[in-house]
Amino acid sequence: MNEHDGTGPGALRMDDPWFEVPAAGEWQQDAGVQAPASHEEPGREDRTAVYLEVQQSAAFQEARSRYRRFVFPAAAAFLAWYLLYVVLATTAPGLMARPVAGELNVAMVAGLAQFASTFLLTWAYARHARLRRDRAALDLRWDTQERMR
């Protein structure tokens, strides 16, 4: 088994399309190889202007607005729900100790509901992002990258 016949440890690297791809910001141009003049990196001022223009665009403002309209109310509701649990646990121990079914009491049910609501909120966030923001964000990213060339 060796790397040349495709069965050795290096064979995995040869099959991996991302093996030779450098991480972001780590690309070093080979010595002696000059990039064509049309593909020179824009200066810092040019990049700043592109990002500022994208940030001020209606598409970016809409994506940001959609994000905020979901995240702020969801975070506030979740924080209120969590704080309600903590406050009830400290101020109303009799209520929290009240049995619901067998050994299961109100505190245990509320604690399990905390876990369930966390998963529900995560699912809702991912769904909202997929349906309402991902396409716009991807379009903005492609537009920005094209303008940076």
44-55 helix and 134-148 helix, angle to the nearest 10 degrees: 150
Confidence of residue 126 (pLDDT cuts 50, 70, 90): very high
- The number of helix segments (H) and strand segments (E) in the chain equals 6, 2
User: Is the distance from CB of 99 to CB of 105 less than 8 angstroms?
Assistant: yes
In whole angstroms, give the CA distance from residue 148 to residue 43. 10
In whole angstroms, give the CA distance from residue 148 to residue 46. 8
Structure tokens at 107: 């505190």
What is the predicted pLDDT for the residue at 22? Answer: 54
Q: Rounded mean pLDDT of the chain?
A: 79
Confidence of residue 9 (pLDDT cuts 50, 70, 90): low
Structure tokens at 37: 């003049």
What is the predicted pLDDT for the residue at 48? Answer: 84
User: Is the distance from CB of 117 to CB of 81 less than 8 angstroms?
Assistant: yes
What is the predicted pLDDT for the residue at 53? Answer: 87
Of residues 48 and 66, more confidence is placed in 66
Residue 49 has pLDDT above 60, yes or no: yes
Q: List, for residues 60-115, the tens digit of each pLDDT value.
A: 889 899 999 999 999 999 999 999 999 999 999 999 999 988 889 999 999 999 99
Structure tokens at 68: 């905020």
What is the predicted pLDDT for the residue at 57? Answer: 87
